[in-house]
């Protein structure tokens, strides 16, 4: 009987590892947002779990990387302490391969601003952050319930746009200046914002927020 249970658990775990599903407030694939550092070793095996410094964009920080050997699947987990996940950077090495992780609505790295707006059912609000902006409010749209909203945003999205390695084109610079001149947070429905052709460039789970 015990052998049967072990086999069934292995089958369930394998199925979860292959679904690549992000459920904000609950899990990412087989990893629950409530997992501990020791529990991560037990769940995935020590050979798939590596403590290392991870660059978040503002410099390296201590973190734990999992699924690094699977193209398009690497996760970087940052801890509040050894028993509490703070947040999870999803596909933190997007140059490796197309990202496998997705929500039930198929929000992935590369999802366009227009697609997000359609899923939300209305325009949403962003704030200028790095290059280029982060979603701060779904403005009572459908995604507010699915992903969380404002300070309770369980899946955080940053949007960017493609530009030459040397910097913005003249048109992109004009659009960015036009947006910044408005002295308010940009909306996805603003014409200048839409003309930048924004898409999801970063995703991370805030695991301090549950359903």
Which residue intervals of 36-153 are DSSP H helices?
37-44, 113-120, 142-147
Q: Report the number of distinct structural domains present in the chain.
A: 2
Give yes or no: residues 196 and 131 share one domain.
Answer: yes
> What's the whole-number mean pLDDT along residues 97-123?
95
Considering 75, 90, 105, which residue would you say is the last residue of a domain?
90
Sheet arrangement for strand 22-23: 22-23, 27-28, 31-32
pLDDT tens for residues 6-26? Answer: 444 444 445 445 589 999 999
**Based on the domain organization, do 12 and 64 belong to the same domain?**
yes
| Model pTM above 0.85 | yes
Percent of the chain with pLDDT over 70: 90
Q: Are 125 and 63 members of one domain?
A: no
Give every CB contact of residue 143 below 8 A, 6+ residues apart in sequence: 116, 119, 120, 124, 149
Query: What pLDDT score was predicted for residue 96?
Result: 63
Average pLDDT for the chain: 89
User: Tens digits of per-residue pLDDT, 156-179?
Assistant: 999 999 999 999 999 999 999 999
Per-residue model confidence as pLDDT tens digits over 33-54: 999 999 999 999 999 999 999 9
Please give the residue range of the domain that contains residue 25: 2-90
My answer on whether 11 and 67 are in the same domain is yes
Q: Is residue 211 part of a domain?
A: no
Q: Are 90 and 203 in contact (CB under 8 A)?
A: yes
- Report pLDDT for 4: 39
User: In which band, very low, low, confident or very high, does the pLDDT at 140 lie, cut at 50, 70 and 90?
Assistant: very high
Query: Which SS3 state, helix, strand or coil, does residue 210 take?
Result: coil
Instruction: For residue 171, tell me if it sits in a domain.
Output: yes
Examine residue 95 and state whether it is found in any structural domain, yes or no.
no
Mean pLDDT is lowest, of 1-5, 66-70, 189-193, for 1-5
Residue 86 shares a structural domain with residue 131: no
| Domain match, 82 and 126 both | no
């Amino acid at each position: 009987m015990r052998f049967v249970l072990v086999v069934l658990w292995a089958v369930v775990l394998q199925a979860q590892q292959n679904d690549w599903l992000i459920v904000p407030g609950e899990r990412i694939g087989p990893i629950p947002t409530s997992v501990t550092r020791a529990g991560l070793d037990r769940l995935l095996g020590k050979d798939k779990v590596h403590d290392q410094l991870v660059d978040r964009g503002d410099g390296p920080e201590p973190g734990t990387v999992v699924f690094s050997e699977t193209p398009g699947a690497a996760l970087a987990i940052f801890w509040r302490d050894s028993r509490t996940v703070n947040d999870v950077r999803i596909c933190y090495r997007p140059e490796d391969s197309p990202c496998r992780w997705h929500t039930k609505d198929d929000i992935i790295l590369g999802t366009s601003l227009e697609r997000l707006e359609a899923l939300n059912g209305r325009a949403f609000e962003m704030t200028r952050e790095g290059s280029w902006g982060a979603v701060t409010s779904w403005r009572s749209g459908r995604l507010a319930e699915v992903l969380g909203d404002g300070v309770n945003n369980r899946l955080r999205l940053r949007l960017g746009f493609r530009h030459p390695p040397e910097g913005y084109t003249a048109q992109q610079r004009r659009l960015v200046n036009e947006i910044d001149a408005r002295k308010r947070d940009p909306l996805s429905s603003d014409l200048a914002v839409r003309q930048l052709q924004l898409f999801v460039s970063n995703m991370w789970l805030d695991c301090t927020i549950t359903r």
